[in-house]
Amino acid sequence: MARRKIIRITVTSLLVLLVLVTAALGGVGWYYSGELLEPEEVPRRYPETSLGVDDKNVVLAESKLTTLRGTFGIVWPGGTAKVGDVASHRDGRVERPLIEGTAPPEGTKVRIETDVYEGTPKTALGLVFSDVAVPGELGDMPAWFVPGSNPDTWVITVHGRGASREEALRVVPQLHGAGLPVLLITYRNDAGAPKSPDGLYHLGDTEWHDVEAAIRYAQDKGAKKVVLYGWSMGGAIVGQTLARSGLAAAVSGVVLDSPVTNWTQTLNLQAENRGVPTWLTPVAEVVSGWRTGIDFDRFDLVASPPARKPPTLLIHGSADGTVPAQSSRDLATAASGLGWPLQYVEIPGADHTSGWNVATDTYRTALGDFLTRSIGATP
């Protein structure tokens, strides 16, 4: 009897422990799924400090961001500027040439931006544009339309998670110069766009419907072909559009910048960045699946490539700390075996979505060659 009692106590203790462990894992998974799925307004922080102007160079206090190589935007309350590569770096002072705008006064708190441009195509680039509404399954989604001389082929830009239409403004002058109309879209849960029914991001699993709506809008306005251009999570959305949209046949080309092509690898990198064990990634995926119905395996473009595989330009920075460059390398390596005409360009030292900033000439050359070779555009 005593032995049976001990066994019963032991089994009960194990069951209680199992329940507690499961609850703890569920709580951790819920927290990290929330970090992944819940939209939030990105706080407008200004962590850097302007030290004034020296011989027409903007002078900034030294930091990891102010010493980044390449062309970047500087934003502060009430002002913006575009600065070039580091001209001088000594004694805690970083000098960068002022390319556009006015320099922030000494002592101003500023933010370094990869987007470079803020505002509309008119205010930021001097380009004529229209505010348009793309009808989607959840309602109208605001977009900017920049007309081009070749109305047959439109470019539809798809920004990344937590970003905005402004992310694409860097490349609009080149696309416009090639005669391509550009539709800079929003999608569900963006500011001004309809919310998803559950109020959560679906990481591309439902957002592709909004890109499909943009393709339909372009076709209704006379487009015969479209080029999809996606950054970061926008790349995941483009991938699902190619895989699941009935309008994918209209896509004649794709440009992917720092794209998510494998969410599991991306979540593992994010876990490492936070000092979280990567074995918790499957837990976060399971909980995210419970909350949204997402099948994470679907996003692996190597294991689950889309049926539609148009010519693709894939660009990734070697120093990306948000989405691993290895995912893009894996896709580039597998592309020929998948029957996918894909060109891969890796930008040494570039962090997330900053390839254009770090190596502008390299980026523009690759994009121009791709547009000429793949869709016959003339930059």
Pull the structure tokens for residue 362: 């390299």
Q: 242-301: per-residue pLDDT in tens?
A: 999 999 999 999 999 999 999 999 988 887 877 777 767 777 776 767 787 899 899 999
CB neighbourhood size of 175 (10 A): 24
CA distance 125 to 168: 12
Domains present along the chain, CATH in parentheses:
48-113 (2.40.10), 121-375 (3.40.50.1820)
Q: What is residue 24's predicted lDDT score, i.e. its pLDDT?
A: 42
CA distance 276 to 288: 17
Query: Distances in Å between the alpha carbon of 20 and those of 23, 26, 150, 197, 288?
Result: 5, 10, 62, 32, 20
Note the Cα 358 to chain centre separation in Å. Answer: 17
Of 98, 122, 123, 128, the residue nearest 110 (C-alpha): 98
Asked whether residue 15 carries a pLDDT value surpassing 50, the answer given is no
Pull the structure tokens for residue 9: 């106590």
For the segment 150-179, the average pLDDT, to the nearest whole number, is 96
Q: 190-244: per-residue pLDDT in tens?
A: 999 999 999 999 999 999 999 999 999 999 999 999 999 999 999 999 999 999 9
Asked whether residue 361 carries a pLDDT value surpassing 90, the answer given is yes
Name the DSSP class of 168: G
Of 64, 37, 35, the residue nearest 319 (C-alpha): 64
Q: 309-346: per-residue pLDDT in tens?
A: 999 999 999 999 999 999 999 999 999 999 999 999 99
> Where on the phi/psi map is residue 122: left (φ > 0), alpha (ψ -120 to 50), or beta?
alpha
